[in-house]
């Protein structure tokens, strides 16, 4: 399926290549560079490019292009999803998926790629199995390794691959069991000019990080099932699960029952449809205008909280892509600080916390290129915010049961509501 993989940085250097079948020359990437040039913006490079002998399927992650070479028919999503899995794995291993991290760990990268694909078909993609095969680098270990000459390759052969629960390592032991749930909800919304919300959905994910283990020493436990009860699961319109969740149980009882993988992972993602919607927690008053035949415009934006259930809205950041004609902006912010990048024309206003008593406001003059026609479109405002301890959909983790242990596990649940793709049209 996947024939070769090239990693290319933004300036067009191929800094890593790996072939699973016979070697494909680097020159195949020229087609990619061609498309890249045509696209102008990195985001617009088509993910699938057809060349006379090959097909190139690429993803763009963290300033790196992962370009895979395909020779025969294959579902494109299959490749794309896999490439993202590769990038996730690098992230997981090196803390970041950057060019330097990859170059510094080129051998581990190679070993990982070797394990992840066999003849172009995914073999082991589960992080727990990979970590058993190839230990992630840590400072301590690299020091020890360089002294003792030992290696990062696990000396025990992993058994997880053979088990029915590939996402969990065998014989994981901790002194105490702790399960942390992060319920992170993101609001996607487009708010129209007339302040009618066009649509808004809540997307989110329950992520879980946990420590699992066994205190009875002699017993090797493999199954430590968890049951997670949600308060009002019927809210959820559409759900996707980590493979560890037992689908039947969810279907019949709306209970999440699973054997957790070791470490952080995304347990479920769900969507709450716009029907049973909850109000949007912030509102924006805006006045942006450009005068005809003059080289200036007015800019006035106020952000305020709306029905936030007593929680403070914090981490508010507004970014605006101003029209090309804008030369500079002279603004005053009552709160936070703003920056305007005259090259990319991006205005960023870091507001911070919103206090209802004194609403943050940003106001001032926009300088336009003289002689240029007035921009037709007012820019859209992209807003980010965060509300701690609130799940805006009303979802709650009610109860967490653990089986196979005598004591109550420590359970921590954190709720956060965030802005997802939250856009205000002006």
Partner 1 sequence: MLSLPPVQKLLRQLPAGSAGQPKPPVGGDTAEEVTSPVLATEARQPACYSALRADELRPLAGPEPVVATSTGPLSRHDDLKEMLDSNKDSLKLEAMKRIVAMIARGKNASDLFPAVVKNVACKNIEVKKLVYVYLVRYAEEQQDLALLSISTFQRGLKDPNQLIRASALRVLSSIRVPIIVPIMMLAIKEAASDMSPYVRKTAAHAIPKLYSLDSDQKDQLIEVIEKLLADKTTLVAGSVVMAFEEVCPERIDLIHKNYRKLCNLLIDVEEWGQVVIINMLTRYARTQFLSPNQNQESLLEESTEKAFYGSEEEDAKDAKAEAASLAKRKPYVMDPDHRLLLRNTKPLLQSRNAAVVMAVAQLYFHLAPKAEVGVIAKALVRLLRSHSEVQYVVLQNVATMSIKRRGMFEPYLKSFYIRSTDPTQIKILKLEVLTNLANETNISTILREFQTYIRSMDKDFVAATIQAIGRCATNIGKVRDTCLNGLVQLLSNRDELVVAESVVVIKKLLQMQPAQHSEIIKHMAKLTDNIQVPMARASILWLIGEYCEHVPKIAPDVLRKMAKSFTNEEDIVKLQVINLAAKLYLTNSKQSKLLTQYVLNLAKYDQNYDIRDRARFIRQLIVPTEKSGALNKYAKKLFLAQKPAPILESSFKDRDHFQLGSLSHLLNAKAVGYQELPDWPDEAPDPSVRNVEVPEWTKCTSREKRKEKVEKPFYSDSEGESGPTESADSEPESVSEESGSSSSSSSSSSGSEEEEEEEEEEEGSGEQSEDKEEEEKRPKRKEKEGSRKAAPGSPPEPGSPCSPSEEEEEEEEGVKKAKKKAAQQGRKGHAETSSEEASASESSSSGSDSGSEAEAKRKKAPPSSRAGPKEISLLDLDDFTPPPPQPIPSSSIVSTSLVTDLEGLTLTDTSLAPAMLSPAFSTVRTYELLHRMAGEGLSVEYCFSRRPFPGDPHMVAVQIQISNNTDAEVKSLRVSEPKPLSGMRIQEFPEIECLAPGDTASVVMGIDFCDSTQAANFQLCTHTRHFYVSIQPPVGELMAPVFMSENEFKKEQGKLTGMSEITEKLTLPEKCRSDHAIVQQVTLAANVGRVPCGADNEYRFAAKTVTSGSLVLITLERREGAAAQLTVNSEKMVIGTMLVKDIVQSLAQ
Contact call for residue 276 and partner 1 (CB under 8 A): no
Interface stretch with partner 1, choices 171-179, 246-254, 276-284, 350-358 (CB under 8 A): 246-254
Q: Which stretch binds partner 1 (CB under 8 A): 28-36, 309-317, 334-342, 359-367?
A: 28-36
Is residue 189 within a helix (H) or strand (E), and if so which, with residue range? strand 178-191
Residues 147-186 that bind partner 1 (CB under 8 A): 148-149, 151-153, 155, 157-159, 161-162, 164-166
365 vs 152: CA distance, rounded Å: 58
Work out whether 141 is an interface residue with partner 1 (CB under 8 A). Answer: no
Site size toward partner 1 (CB under 8 A) is 129
Q: Distance between CA 39 and CA 230 in Å, rounded? A: 46
Q: Which is nearer to partner 1, 111 or 350 (CB)?
A: 111
Distance CA 153, CA 352 (A): 45
Sole binder of partner 1 in the list 74, 288, 327, 346 (CB under 8 A):
74
Question: Which range in 189-197, 302-310, 331-339, 385-393 contacts partner 1 by CB under 8 A?
Answer: 189-197
Helix (H, G, I), strand (E, B), or coil: what is residue 243? coil
Does 11 contact partner 1 by CB under 8 A? yes
CB atoms within 10 A of CB 404: 15
Q: Least distance in Å: CB of 201 to partner 1?
A: 7
> Can residue 198 be called a binding residue for partner 1 (CB under 8 A)?
yes
Rounded Cα gap, residues 339 and 366, in angstroms: 13
Shortest approach of partner 1 to residue 357 CB, angstroms? 32
298 vs 324 by CB, closer to partner 1: 324
Q: Is 62 in the site for partner 1 (CB under 8 A)?
A: no
| Interatomic CA distance for residues 235 and 120, integer angstroms | 41
8 A C-beta contact, residue 191 and residue 424: yes
User: Binding string, 353-392, against partner 1, x = CB under 8 A?
Assistant: --------------------x-xxx-xx-x----------
Residues 6 or more apart in contact with residue 191 via CB below 8 angstroms: 197, 198, 280, 284, 422, 423, 424, 425
Instruction: Indicate whether 295 belongs to the interface with partner 1 (CB under 8 A).
Output: no
Least distance between partner 1 and beta carbon 127 (Å): 13
**Min. distance of Cβ 82 from partner 1 in angstroms?**
7
Residue selected from 109, 187, 213, 303 as contacting partner 1 according to rule CB under 8 A: 109
Helices first, then strands: H and E counts in the chain: 7, 23
Q: How far is the CB of 15 from partner 1 (least distance, A)?
A: 7
DSSP assignment of 137-154: P-HHHHHHHHHH---SB-
**Which of 225, 215, 159 lies closest to 400 in space, CA to CA?**
225
Residue 106 is a binding residue for partner 1 (CB under 8 A): yes
Between 38 and 334, name the residue whose CB sits nearer to partner 1: 38
Residues 112 and 89: their CA atoms lie apart, in Å, by 9
Q: In the range 296-355, which residues lie near partner 1 by CB under 8 A?
A: 321, 323-324
What is the distance between the alpha carbons of residues 220 and 170, in angstroms, rounded to a whole number?
8
CA distance 391 to 416: 6
Q: Which is nearer to partner 1, 129 or 335 (CB)?
A: 129
CB of 103 to partner 1, least distance (A): 8
DSSP H helices in 168-307: 247-253
How is residue 414 written in tokens? Answer: 């954190």
Strand partners, 255: 229
The distance of closest approach from Cβ of residue 236 to partner 1 in the complex, given in angstroms and rounded to an integer, is: 11
> Tell me, what DSSP letter sits at residue 126?
-
Considering beta carbons, is residue 190 or 327 the nearer one to partner 1?
Answer: 190
Token pair 């980010």 in the structure block, residue: 384
Of the two residues 167 and 335, which places its CB atom closer to partner 1 in the complex?
A: 167
Binding mask 211-240 for partner 1 (x = CB under 8 A): -------xxxx-x-x-x---------xxxx
Nearest residue to 132 via CA among 98, 167, 101, 102: 167
Indicate the residue among 244 and 351 with the shorter CB distance to partner 1: 244
């Amino acid at each position: 399926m996947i024939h070769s993989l090239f990693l290319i940085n933004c300036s067009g250097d191929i800094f890593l290549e790996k072939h699973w079948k016979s070697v494909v020359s680097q020159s195949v990437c020229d087609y990619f560079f061609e498309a890249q040039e045509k696209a102008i913006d990195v985001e617009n490079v088509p993910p699938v490019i057809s060349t006379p002998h090959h097909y190139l399927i690429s993803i763009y992650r963290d300033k790196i292009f992962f370009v895979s070479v395909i020779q025969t028919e294959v579902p494109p999503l299959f490749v794309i999803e896999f490439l993202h899995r590769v990038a996730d794995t690098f992230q997981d291993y090196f803390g970041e998926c950057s060019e330097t991290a990859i170059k510094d760990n080129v051998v581990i990268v190679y070993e990982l790629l070797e394990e992840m694909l066999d003849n172009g078909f995914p073999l082991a993609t589960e992080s727990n199995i990979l970590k058993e095969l190839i230990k992630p680098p840590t400072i301590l270990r690299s020091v020890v390794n360089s002294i003792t000459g030992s290696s990062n390759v696990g000396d025990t052969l992993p058994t997880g691959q053979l088990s029915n629960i590939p996402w969990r390592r065998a014989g994981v032991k901790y002194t105490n069991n702790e399960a942390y749930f992060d319920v992170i909800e993101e609001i996607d919304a487009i708010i129209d000019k007339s302040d009618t919300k066009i649509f808004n959905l809540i997307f989110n994910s329950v992520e879980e990080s946990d420590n699992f283990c066994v205190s009875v020493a002699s017993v090797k436990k493999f199954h430590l099932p968890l049951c997670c009860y949600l308060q009002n699961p019927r809210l959820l319109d559409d759900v996707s699960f980590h493979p560890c969740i037992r689908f039947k149980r969810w279907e019949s009882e709306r209970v999440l029952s699973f054997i957790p993988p070791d470490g952080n992972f995304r347990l479920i993602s769900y969507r709450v449809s716009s029907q049973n919607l909850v109000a949007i927690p912030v509102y924006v008053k805006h006045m942006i205008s450009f005068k005809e035949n003059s080289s200036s415009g007015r800019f006035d934006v106020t952000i305020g909280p709306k029905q936030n259930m007593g929680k403070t809205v914090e981490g508010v950041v507004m970014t605006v892509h101003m029209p090309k004609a804008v030369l500079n902006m002279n603004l005053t912010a009552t709160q936070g600080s703003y920056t305007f990048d005259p090259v990319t024309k991006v205005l960023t206003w870091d507001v911070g916390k919103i206090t209802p008593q004194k609403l943050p406001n940003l106001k001032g003059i926009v300088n336009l290129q003289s002689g240029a026609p007035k921009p037709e479109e007012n820019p859209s405002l992209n807003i980010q915010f965060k509300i701690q301890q609130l799940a805006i959909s009303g979802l709650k983790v009610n109860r967490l049961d653990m089986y196979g242990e005598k004591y109550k596990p420590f359970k921590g649940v954190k709720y956060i509501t965030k802005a997802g793709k939250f856009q205000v049209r002006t």
